[in-house]
Structure 1
Amino acid sequence: MHTTAKPSIPVSVYVLALGIFAMINCELQVLGMMPQMARDLEITISQVGYLVSIYAAAMALGGPLLTLGLGSQPPKKTFYLLFALFVIGEILGALAQGYPMLIVSRLITGAVSGAFFGTALGTCHRLVAPELGIRAVAIVLAGIMVGTILGLPLASLVGEYYGWRASFWFVVALAVLAALGTAALLPALPAAAKIGLRQELAAFRNRQLWSVFATSFCVIGATYAAFSYFVPILTQLTGLAHNSVTWLLFAYGITMLIGNHIVARLAGPRNLRILATGMVLHSLFLVLLALQTHQSWAAVIAVLGLGLTGISMNPAMVSRVMQVPNGERPLVNTVHASVITLGIMFGSYASGQVLEWGYSLHSPMWVGIAIAMTGLLTLLLDRARPETPAASEPLRAGAATPSTHP
């Protein structure tokens, strides 16, 4: 009696997640070494902080340009080139003797990260059976969450014991390991059909795509409006000790991973419902944190709930992009990653601006709620649009036309 083996996730998908993990470590590493870098390079703490913004800006603007430049290459060759550029950029950071060289390093690594995210998301569902497309995306995105959980502590630990430059070399080692894994385990997929620049950009004329981007912008913006100020909120308002905050943030990361897994299991035809539910719950947890900040039990519940309903919406957001005609293209996914990065920057900036206006540390929660409500409005507008056949089918691997696309 013959039994048909169930399709499984190949190890190459996990290799792509390792690459993203390395790049998230790169993005966050300077935050864990601010005093050491400022002292050694004779710069201010704020200048070190700007390195994160420079990375994010390069990712948002340089990532799509780099993706366009490499678009005609087979995925494996593209990854080789991206890893090579990334390692060069990170080595420049490790060897930097002044602030300008660090800026150059962050511009290179940021642009590479943006292109890598889009290429990885565009490749991962070519590696699996159609019904496993969303799970593969979730595994790749888990690299972001694990990097968020471990990136700061690792950088802080390595920087404290071995100096801040050692952290850069550590990320270089991670990237080389991911590159070797890619060489050994990623199959040699053919290049996607060559698309002219005009045709590539034509995908962005679809109004629905921009509605999808707007929702993703709001989901992430609402998350980072409060997350950016968790430490002062929890220490100054809730009164938690710094070591308790560290453990709570670690638990926050664990709930992100759990939420990512749950959303990946449910995403597909239910994307609108999942995102709407996530934003409503996220808003309720922000209300709880804003109104009961001084109660430690409420703060713990709110923070864990925010982890479960914030960044963990990523699989549904990516799946929703894939459901738009031509949404599987690497450039579309790279621009989506750029939109998410801009959402991070906007959420943090909006809360910081409100605080500068003299409002209390409760205000980041209300800023997050306002952004989340705007996100709900984008979903309502999308819901009112007549559903297309392409948007009603499940996520398909390697789809290229509306008739075969999600």
Structure 2
Amino acid sequence: MPLAIYVLGLMIFSMTTSEFMVAGIMPSLSEEFGVSVAAIGYLISAYAAGMIIGGPLLTVGLLKVPRKKAFLALSTVFLIGQTLGALAPNYELMMAARIIIGVASSACFGVSIAIALTLVRPEASGRAASIVLGGLMVATAVGLPAAMLFDQYLGWRASFWAVVVLVLVSGTMGLLLIPKSPKEESQTISLRGELAEFKNRHLWAAFATSMLIIGATFAAFSYFSPILTDVAGFSASMVPLLLGVYGVATVIGNTITGRLADRYMMPIMTIGLVVLTGALIMFGLFAEHQVVAVIAVIVIGLVGVSMNPPMVTRVARASNGGSLVNTFHVSVVNFGIVVGSTIGGLTIDHGYGLASPLWVGAVLAVLGLLSLIPYLKKTPAPADSAAVPEKTCA
């Protein structure tokens, strides 16, 4: 793998840490700005809204910009937004900062994946995607706990400044290490051509499966904390450790699926969804048993968001692998997060119990499995040169 791909992964790690860390430092932000914890929760929603809506729109505006320049421009926008958050004197400016970095993050995800796919041969696209998206997994296992430690010992602003430094380092390394593609620099990307990709029903089928996989995972993950404390009976001090174990499981799962995605894309998603469904049902039935709860958390980590590499590979094979398609895929994934967490919350609010989101996740996982059925008998080639750009650098 070219070193530039690891740089892209570092940038995704930095941005995803910024996305997750607000959830870990809610009390400090609430006290700082004199607002409720629920109001701080809206900062998370604002970030997600920026990713879902703003990311594709910004990507459209950058379609004719060479991808390396687009990556650097988006990194700069994110850097400005994160700095604004670190300096924010009030809630309103923090809200503006979260929207800015949400928009920049979504577009940067899409551009980063598109760049990664041009740096390797088609048969290595899944592994390249796993390294880039590995930044997301590592942010769960390392970035979020580190941000919480910064908050506890140095104050919440220190956690924001730490991300500023990471983005600055990642952007500088990207400037030096991401190569220019002569082919890309000379081509003109047509918005009409990019939009034409969305007429492909197979691409929408891939989007649907991705949304359901992530929705199933986050229906459970969003409520791990209250389930583990109030249902399974773990102490509050144990929850960060268990979430760290979950994060490590996602890293391991992502590494495995990344190496296998190019050859076994559909089997990975099929088996993964079967295992995910089983884990969620087991967790829902025996949530009060601590051993079962720990096993379920680990399994969900191994087969949930860890299916990102085959998901990205499938989208790339069903399309041109361009920035707009990849950014829209990021929006679809974030929509899955919203769907899973929202429906899970509604079941709790309607009196079905704290464990009810686990059953929501199981239903979404089953729907994801059903969405794969029309494609199970198809055996696409490991790589399609029309779907994934050829390698353009040594």
Q: TM-score range by the shorter chain?
A: over 0.9
Which whole-Å CA distance do the structure 1 matches of 2:319 and 2:301 have between them?
Answer: 31
Contact 1:125 1:398 in 2 (8 A): no
**1:81 and 2:73 matched:** yes
**1:121 and 2:113 matched:** yes
Which whole-Å CA distance do the structure 2 matches of 1:71 and 1:304 have between them?
Answer: 40
Which whole-Å CA distance do the structure 1 matches of 2:50 and 2:319 have between them?
Answer: 27
Which whole-Å CA distance do the structure 2 matches of 1:396 and 1:47 have between them?
Answer: 47
**1:225 and 2:219 matched:** yes
Indicate the SS of the match to 2:262: coil
Q: 1:220 to 1:400 in 2, by over 3 A?
A: closer
Residue 339 of structure 1 aligns to which amino acid in structure 2? V
Which whole-Å CA distance do the structure 2 matches of 1:217 and 1:160 have between them?
Answer: 35
Which whole-Å CA distance do the structure 2 matches of 1:397 and 1:90 have between them?
Answer: 38
What are the superposed Cα offsets for residues 194-220 of structure 1, whole Å, 9 maximum, x if unpaired? 232222111101111111100000000
Q: 1:52 to 1:398 in 2, by over 3 A?
A: farther
Residue 4 of structure 2 aligns to which amino acid in structure 1? S
Contact 1:126 1:398 in 2 (8 A): no
Deviation (angstroms), 1:88: 0.7
Which whole-Å CA distance do the structure 2 matches of 1:30 and 1:296 have between them?
Answer: 28
Q: Which residue of 2 aligns with 1:337?
A: 330
The partner residue of 1:36 within 14, 21, 28 is: 28
Q: Which residue of 2 aligns with 1:140?
A: 132
Deviation (angstroms), 1:395: 3.1
Residue 380 of structure 2 aligns to which amino acid in structure 1? S
Which whole-Å CA distance do the structure 1 matches of 2:238 and 2:189 have between them?
Answer: 52
**1:280 and 2:274 matched:** yes
Which whole-Å CA distance do the structure 2 matches of 1:396 and 1:89 have between them?
Answer: 38
Counterparts of residues 7-406 of structure 1 (less than 5 Å) = 9-190=1-182, 191=184, 193-326=187-320, 328-383=321-376, 387=378, 392-395=380-383, 399=387
Deviation (angstroms), 1:370: 0.6
Which whole-Å CA distance do the structure 2 matches of 1:105 and 1:174 have between them?
Answer: 17
Deviation (angstroms), 1:38: 1.0
Q: 1:395 to 1:148 in 2, by over 3 A?
A: farther
Indicate the SS of the match to 1:188: coil
Deviation (angstroms), 1:400: 6.1
Contact 1:20 1:117 in 2 (8 A): yes
Deviation (angstroms), 1:399: 4.5
RMSD, aligned α-carbons:
1.6
Q: Which residue of 2 aligns with 1:404?
A: none
Which whole-Å CA distance do the structure 2 matches of 1:397 and 1:98 have between them?
Answer: 51
Which whole-Å CA distance do the structure 2 matches of 1:109 and 1:19 have between them?
Answer: 13
Where do 5+ consecutive residues of structure 1 fail to align?
1-8, 402-406
Which whole-Å CA distance do the structure 2 matches of 1:129 and 1:342 have between them?
Answer: 30
Q: Which residue of 1 aligns with 2:392?
A: none
TM-score, normalised to structure 2's length? 0.94
Residue 369 of structure 2 aligns to which amino acid in structure 1? L
Indicate the SS of the match to 2:5: helix
Most deviating of 181-190 and 114-123:
181-190
Identity %: 45
What are the superposed Cα offsets for residues 112-136 of structure 1, whole Å, 9 maximum, x if unpaired? 1000100011110211233322111
Number of residues of Structure 1 aligned to a counterpart in Structure 2 = 387
Which whole-Å CA distance do the structure 1 matches of 2:109 and 2:269 have between them?
Answer: 21
Which whole-Å CA distance do the structure 2 matches of 1:31 and 1:267 have between them?
Answer: 31
Contact 1:211 1:382 in 2 (8 A): no
Residue 348 of structure 1 aligns to which amino acid in structure 2? S
Deviation (angstroms), 1:152: 2.1
Residue 140 of structure 2 aligns to which amino acid in structure 1? T
Which whole-Å CA distance do the structure 2 matches of 1:151 and 1:233 have between them?
Answer: 23
Which whole-Å CA distance do the structure 2 matches of 1:397 and 1:72 have between them?
Answer: 22
Contact 2:344 2:360 in 1 (8 A): yes
TM-score, normalised to structure 1's length? 0.92
Which whole-Å CA distance do the structure 2 matches of 1:400 and 1:37 have between them?
Answer: 43
